[in-house]
Amino acid sequence: MTDQLATEGTEALIQRAAAGDHDAFQDLLTPHLAMFHYAVLRIVKDPSDAQDALQEGLLSISMSLPNFEGRSQFSSWAYRICVNAALQVLRTRRRRREEFMEDLASHGEDDGRPMEAEARLDWSTEADAPLHLERQEVRMRMMKTLDLLPDSLRVVFVLKDIEEMDTQEIAEKLDITPAVVRQRLHRARMFLQERLKPVLSGRWP
């Protein structure tokens, strides 16, 4: 199928879905589901929170679809909605945690969650490990390494380096200053580069 045919197919699905055709809506989303799910999972980390966030995202897409103007690609537009839903879940989670831990909240920056030294996947001590791993497993381990970061650092890294948002936009979304965005980004990058040395030095299948 050519790209043009695919685009025409998507446009028709969007129109039908926006007019209330539920099967069209499902067909429209299914091809992007894995990508959307992975995007929210990278932000919220917890699989059950990811399911909630994705569900919220899909509902928002459904509600906003009649207003979709087609100025951007449908997938990018919908993807952004899912990312926003994930950020909302994260905010709610943080608020919940703060309510429980109000008197312990003296750490500020890192939501009091340490980068567990004992749980870390230190690839640098097994320098050639990736060579012996299947690509799929390498990806799983990359994800686990990302999960070792506290929420505040992981979210900034994901939004900046994976979702490629600009610093100002991230600052506004997270209600922090651009300088704090860069500071957190730096800590996240330093943490990851230390643990992903073999991958970043090109020793990767």
Is residue 162 near another protein by the rule CB under 8 A?
A: yes
Q: Kindly give the interhelix angle for 135-147 and 178-195, rounded to the nearest 10 degrees.
A: 130
- Is 167 a binding residue for another protein by CB under 8 A? The answer is yes
- Binders of another protein among 61-100, rule CB under 8 A? 62-63, 65-66
Q: Which is nearer to another protein, 87 or 158 (CB)?
A: 158
Alpha-carbon gap, residue 4 to 146, rounded angstroms = 37
Using a 10 angstrom Cβ sphere, with 0-12 exposed, 13-18 middle and 19 or more buried, the burial of residue 21 is: middle
How near is the Cβ of 79 to another protein at its closest, in Å? Answer: 12
Question: Residue 37's closest CA among 18, 56, 9, 65?
Answer: 56
**Which residues are CB-contacts of 13 (< 8 A; sequence separation ≥ 6)?**
24, 27, 28
> Among 19, 101, 105, 131, which residue sits at the site for another protein (rule: CB under 8 A)?
19
Report the interface residues with another protein, using CB under 8 A: 17-22, 25-26, 29-30, 33-38, 42, 47-48, 50-52, 54-55, 58-59, 62-63, 65-66, 136, 139-140, 142-143, 146, 157-158, 160-162, 164, 167, 178-179, 182-183, 185-186, 189-190, 192-193, 196-197, 199-201
